């Protein structure tokens, strides 16, 4: 039945049935059925039930915290990631290849490892945490700690989406701007940055989506105080530990809706930019 | 504007792109730099435009040394081979770019910018395309928009790198006349680079034949045809 | 129109002429230096410092203490479990990735964009939500889960659940790497092989596979790193049963919460070393097979 939905046009290439069969079976088993089960749980709980779970101060506080900090972290990564992409794509300096590889470390390093490492670093007895303490500040177990963890996990997204776009910019476009009388700074602001914007926004959305759902690197450094430093994914874990499957599903659905919205935004950005400038 | 190229040489590392070349370009002339790829013609054009710095020699504009003058200050209208239009800007914004990039004290007011862009769109005979993006234009339209953009800064000269290179044969013929007309209307000293001898001979007042970083011959098209100065020129224009 | 008053340069040459000429597409050396310093400084603080801390904390009481902690049964069983999970979930994802990429790039069909969106979905779902979804489908209180437990094949709080969670979070990795490369290479080579009488499998093994092998390896590497390191989804489905369903990341959490810092960080250092190895291999692949992998960078 599903195969009929995705019927191929006549093609001499073999393997459509097998390939599509494997794809749809796996997709169903791993992604569609579980997500369906989540939605079904929410449906049986009813919209009123979902709403009553979500509409409590503690859940609102957690969602608001997750969102606000994920957004700030994504903005930081948008700016720093674009700068990083520019430096890596345009400048020659010793060790550039190494630095380029290091950018991907947050993708490769398990989140739990990142979590305990950041906590050790930013706790009051850690290197940076101690520094902050001597200035009367606290980083770990506050919002600042969560923010740092979210910046860490989202760091590579913008750089990795923007870097190839920089590499493809024609030098002639920059030269044209200069021959028209524009200084370098004007060229960067009016010509180059707008060309990078669609890719940068895609990276921003990916970084945001990742940060909203992030769990492993955050729970160690967050302190997890209800209403203060408790993130939304942690609430799901807590509900599950209390065997409150309805409650967990309600928050899960709320987060899923948020993720879908962001996925939609990413796609819209890409369609918009393709229409305007003919490439992503 | 009168341009004087005085013993200009350019090397890139170990390769010599230009042996010292000298060339006076009279004010208001339409000049073709003609030669095969690697002849140094584009390098010479880029040096005139301030995009490359000569290894030695000087460029004089109206008798004044302009060798060290920055690209921005040269006010050379430059049309690139790929046109290098700003893809994220409309045709209007592309043409207005140079005016808006000026420092505030010399920037015309918006109404004046609009008036000038409209006038330029009329000059290139594309008055209705102001709101379009470059990827919605044909090759020929892009070329003319690039020309209008270069003219918008009220350039002191017009420099074009293979202006017809990316176009098909029919459009190419049409736009040749377009360039001639614009040259005649504006009276700007115009230098264009081409590898197509028909194009050079038909369009230019003065043809400069180049090969291997040297100038082989300078002359009016009919003189070059009638009396090629070197075997290279004879062979190249016969091709 | 050209009778403008602007017949002299905007600034006199003396005012503007740079002491040393540089291409117009370059920033000033000072700007470059400042930007490079910000980039390197930022990376050092944000990325390298945490990495260094992992190893420093692991070795805080000497190398011997670190090694001893890794030989404890708890650590051993975690390492074994993680290896088993990766050994199952990575091949599963490789097969899926190849099948999906083949279907998507070699055929035209309606709903292709939708299919790609579905494959990408796990990228934008929180791992915790993924774990939750698996628990709701396969957990003992669901119909399916109840039946599975009764038939002696529990999924949640057992190895299959951990594998499913790992496959979920790494689902798009291989397909994502293969699709751009296969689009770039088109279908002509396969079509040529077919006209020469090769069977479908033969075409795949002798034409397609050699063309995509580096991208495949690249996807497998990323998939492996993530599968071994997954925490959120596994934390939810595994039940965190010590010695049974505690993978390396889960064990790190347990040890850390018990203030067994050296043991936690030693295990973490092992995973960090795996991450570094992954990055090294990835860089090497990119360096040696840049042309083939260029497509994956452009997405």
pLDDT band at A101 (very low <50, low <70, confident <90, very high): very high
B154–C6 C-beta distance less than 8 A: yes
Residue C18: per-residue pLDDT: 41
Taking CB atoms and an 8 Å cutoff, what residues of chain A touch B87? 195, 276-278
Residue C7: per-residue pLDDT: 42
CATH of the domain at B184: 3.40.50.300
Q: What is the mean pLDDT of residues A223-251?
A: 92
Q: What is the mean pLDDT of residues C103-114?
A: 89
Restricting to A residues 79-118, those with a Cβ less than 8 Å away from any Cβ of C are 80, 83-84, 86-88, 91, 93, 97, 99-118
Taking CB atoms and an 8 Å cutoff, what residues of chain A touch C96? 22-23, 26
Residue C292: per-residue pLDDT: 65
Residue B194 lies in a domain: yes
A179–B50 C-beta distance less than 8 A: yes
DSSP annotation of B134 reads G
| Judgement on whether residues B102 and B206 belong to the same structural domain of the protein | no
Contacting chains of B (3 CB pairs or more, <8 Å) are A, C
Residue C8: per-residue pLDDT: 41
Residue C248: per-residue pLDDT: 95
Q: What does pLDDT average to over chain A?
A: 90
Structure tokens at A259: 């993720």
- Structural domain that includes position B36: 1-75+155-213+230-239
Cβ neighbours of residue A155 closer than 8 Å, sequence gap 6 or more:
A77, A80, A81, A103, A106, A207, C46, C47
The residue with greater pLDDT, C16 or B63, is B63
Q: In chain A, pLDDT over 70 holds for what percent of residues?
A: 94
The pLDDT tens digits of the residues spanning B196-229 come to: 999 999 999 999 999 999 999 999 999 999 999 9
Asked if the C-beta of B154 comes within 8 angstroms of chain C's C-beta atoms, the answer is yes
Q: In chain A, pLDDT over 90 holds for what percent of residues?
A: 71
Alpha-carbon span B139 to B83, nearest angstrom: 9
In the block, tokens 């460029």 appear at B59
Pick the residue of A165, A170, A180 with the most B CBs within 10 A to test the interface with B by mutation: A180
Among chain B residues, CA nearest to C12 = B73
- Enclosing H/E stretch for B237: helix B231-238
| Judgement on whether residues B143 and B36 belong to the same structural domain of the protein | no
Q: In this model, does residue A277 exceed pLDDT 80?
A: no
| Judgement on whether residues B136 and B166 belong to the same structural domain of the protein | no
Instruction: Note whether B216 and B230 are within 8 A (CB).
Output: yes
The pLDDT tens digits of the residues spanning C134-156 come to: 999 998 888 888 898 888 888 88
Q: In this model, does residue C72 exceed pLDDT 50?
A: yes
Domain boundaries C62-298, CATH class: mainly alpha
In the block, tokens 């040259």 appear at B183
pLDDT band at C1 (very low <50, low <70, confident <90, very high): very low
Structure tokens at A251: 């928050």
* Every domain of chain C and the residues it spans: 28-58, 62-298
Pick the residue of A98, A116, A205 with the most C CBs within 10 A to test the interface with C by mutation: A116
Alpha-carbon span B161 to A175, nearest angstrom: 13
| Judgement on whether residues B96 and B20 belong to the same structural domain of the protein | no
Q: In this model, does residue C13 exceed pLDDT 70?
A: no
B53–C13 C-beta distance less than 8 A: no
List the single range of A119-133, A253-267, B111-125, B128-142 with lowest mean pLDDT. A253-267
Domains contained in chain B, number: 2
Residue B68 lies in a domain: yes
Structure tokens at C207: 């034409």
| Judgement on whether residues B5 and B65 belong to the same structural domain of the protein | yes
What is the per-residue burial (b if ≥16 Cβ within 10 Å, else e) of C182-195? Answer: bebbebeebbebbe
Q: What is the mean pLDDT of residues C231-248?
A: 90
Looking at B103, B122, B154, the residue that finishes a domain is B154
Residue B130 lies in a domain: yes
Asked if the C-beta of C279 comes within 8 angstroms of chain A's C-beta atoms, the answer is yes
Alpha-carbon span C39 to C49, nearest angstrom: 14
Residue B12 lies in a domain: yes
Q: How far is CA A259 from the centre of its chain?
A: 10
Looking at B154, B178, B195, the residue that finishes a domain is B154
How far, in Å, are A52, C175, C210, C223 from residue A23 at the CA level?
38, 10, 22, 17
| Judgement on whether residues B162 and B150 belong to the same structural domain of the protein | no
Taking CB atoms and an 8 Å cutoff, what residues of chain A touch C183? none
Domains (range + CATH), chain A: 45-277 (1.10.3720.10)
Residue A93: per-residue pLDDT: 93
Q: What is the ipTM of this complex?
A: 0.92
In the block, tokens 């045809």 appear at B225
| Judgement on whether residues B188 and B135 belong to the same structural domain of the protein | no
Residue B69 lies in a domain: yes
| Judgement on whether residues B62 and B135 belong to the same structural domain of the protein | no
Q: What does pLDDT average to over chain C?
A: 87
| Judgement on whether residues B235 and B163 belong to the same structural domain of the protein | yes
DSSP codes joined into one string, B144-182: HHHHHHHHHT--SEEEEESTTTTS-HHHHHHHHHHHHHH
pLDDT band at C2 (very low <50, low <70, confident <90, very high): very low
Alpha-carbon span A34 to C130, nearest angstrom: 8
| Judgement on whether residues B70 and B181 belong to the same structural domain of the protein | yes
Task: Determine how many CB atoms are found less than 10 A away from the CB of residue C286.
Answer: 19
Residue C10: per-residue pLDDT: 43
Query: Residue C1 is nearest to which of B50, B69, B119, comparing CB atoms?
Result: B119
Residue B181 lies in a domain: yes
B101–A177 C-beta distance less than 8 A: yes
| Judgement on whether residues B187 and B201 belong to the same structural domain of the protein | yes
Residue B80 lies in a domain: no
Residue B199 lies in a domain: yes
Cβ neighbours of residue B120 closer than 8 Å, sequence gap 6 or more:
B95, B148, B151, B152
Q: What is the mean pLDDT of residues A3-29?
A: 82
| Judgement on whether residues B147 and B159 belong to the same structural domain of the protein | no
C1–B73 C-beta distance less than 8 A: no
List the single range of B92-106, B166-180, C58-72, C80-94 with lowest mean pLDDT. B166-180
The pLDDT tens digits of the residues spanning A167-202 come to: 989 999 999 999 999 999 999 999 999 999 888 988
């Amino acid at each position: 039945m599903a195969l009929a939905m995705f019927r191929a046009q006549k093609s001499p290439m073999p393997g459509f049935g097998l390939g599509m069969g494997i794809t749809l079976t796996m997709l169903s088993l791993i992604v569609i059925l579980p997500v369906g089960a989540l939605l079904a749980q929410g449906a049986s709980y009813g919209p009123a039930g979902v709403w009553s779970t979500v509409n409590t101060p503690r859940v609102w506080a957690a969602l608001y915290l997750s969102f606000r900090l994920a957004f700030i972290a994504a903005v930081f990564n948008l700016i720093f990631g674009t700068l990083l992409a520019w430096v890596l794509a345009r400048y020659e300096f010793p060790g550039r290849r190494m630095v380029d590889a290091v950018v991907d470390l947050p993708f490769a390093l398990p989140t739990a490892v990142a979590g305990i490492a950041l906590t050790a670093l930013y706790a009051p007895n850690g290197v940076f945490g101690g520094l902050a303490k001597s200035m009367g500040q606290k980083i770990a177990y506050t919002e600042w700690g969560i923010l740092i963890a979210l910046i860490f996990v989202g760091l590579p997204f913008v750089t990795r989406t923007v870097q190839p776009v920089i590499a493809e910019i024609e030098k002639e476009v920059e030269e044209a701007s200069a021959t028209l009388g524009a200084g370098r700074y004007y060229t960067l602001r009016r010509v180059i940055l707008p060309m990078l914007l669609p890719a940068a926004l895609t990276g921003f959305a990916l970084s945001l989506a990742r940060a909203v759902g992030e769990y492993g690197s955050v729970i160690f450094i967050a302190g997890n105080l209800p209403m203060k430093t408790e993130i939304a994914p942690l609430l799901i874990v807590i509900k599950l530990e209390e065997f409150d499957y309805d409650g967990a599903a309600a928050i899960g659905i709320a987060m899923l809706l948020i993720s879908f919205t962001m996925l939609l935004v990413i796609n819209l950005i890409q369609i918009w930019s393709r229409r305007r400038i003919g490439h992503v | 504007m009168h341009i004087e190229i005085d013993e200009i040489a350019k090397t890139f590392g170990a390769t010599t792109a230009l042996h010292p070349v000298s060339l006076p370009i009279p004010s208001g002339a339409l000049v073709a730099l003609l030669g095969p790829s690697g002849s140094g013609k584009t390098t010479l054009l880029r040096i005139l435009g301030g995009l490359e710095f000569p290894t030695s020699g000087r460029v004089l504009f109206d008798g004044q040394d302009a060798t060290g003058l920055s690209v921005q200050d040269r006010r050379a209208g430059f049309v690139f081979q790929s046109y290098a239009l700003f893809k994220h800007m409309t045709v209007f914004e592309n043409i207005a770019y140079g005016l808006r990039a000026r420092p505030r004290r010399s920037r015309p007011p918006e109404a004046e910018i609009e008036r000038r862009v409209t006038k330029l769109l009329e000059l290139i005979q594309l008055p209705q395309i102001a709101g379009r993006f470059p990827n919605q234009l044909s090759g020929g339209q892009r070329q003319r928009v690039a020309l209008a953009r270069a003219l918008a800064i009220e350039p002191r000269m017009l420099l074009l790198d293979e202006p017809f290179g990316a176009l098909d044969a029919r459009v190419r013929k049409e736009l040749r006349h377009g360039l001639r007309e614009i040259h005649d209307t504006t009276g700007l000293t115009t230098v264009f680079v081409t590898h197509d001898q028909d194009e050079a001979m038909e369009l230019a007042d003065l043809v400069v034949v180049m090969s291997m970083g040297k100038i082989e011959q300078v002359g009016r098209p009919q003189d070059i045809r009638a009396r090629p100065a070197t075997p290279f020129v004879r062979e190249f224009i016969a091709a | 129109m050209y009778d403008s008053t602007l017949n002299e340069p905007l600034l006199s040459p003396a005012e503007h002429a740079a002491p040393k000429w540089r291409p117009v597409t370059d920033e000033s050396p000072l700007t470059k230096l400042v930007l490079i310093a910000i980039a390197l400084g930022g990376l050092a603080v944000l990325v390298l410092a945490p990495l260094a801390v992992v190893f420093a904390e692991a070795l805080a009481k000497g190398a011997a203490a670190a090694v001893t902690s890794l030989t404890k049964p708890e650590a051993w069983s975690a390492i074994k479990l993680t290896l088993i999970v990766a050994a199952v979930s990575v091949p599963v994802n490789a097969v899926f990735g190849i099948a999906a990429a083949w279907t998507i790039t070699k055929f035209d069909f309606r709903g292709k964009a939708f299919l790609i969106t579905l494959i990408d979905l796990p990228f934008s779902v929180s791992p915790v939500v993924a774990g939750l979804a698996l628990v709701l489908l396969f957990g003992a209180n669901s119909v399916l889960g109840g039946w599975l437990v009764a038939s002696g094949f529990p999924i949640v709080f057992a190895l299959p659940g951990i594998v499913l969670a790992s496959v979920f979070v790494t689902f798009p990795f291989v397909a994502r790497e293969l699709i751009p490369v296969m689009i770039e290479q088109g279908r002509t080579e396969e079509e040529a092989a077919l006209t020469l009488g090769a069977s479908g499998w033969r075409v795949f093994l002798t034409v397609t596979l050699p063309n995509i092998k580096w991208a495949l390896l690249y996807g497998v590497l990323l998939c492996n790193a993530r599968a071994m390191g997954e925490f959120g989804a596994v934390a939810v489905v595994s039940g965190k049963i010590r010695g049974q369903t505690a993978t390396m990341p889960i064990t790190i959490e347990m040890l850390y919460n018990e203030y067994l810092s050296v043991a936690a960080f030693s295990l973490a250092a092992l995973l960090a070393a795996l991450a570094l190895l992954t990055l090294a291999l990835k860089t090497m692949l990119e360096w040696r097979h840049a042309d083939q992998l260029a497509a994956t960078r452009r997405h």
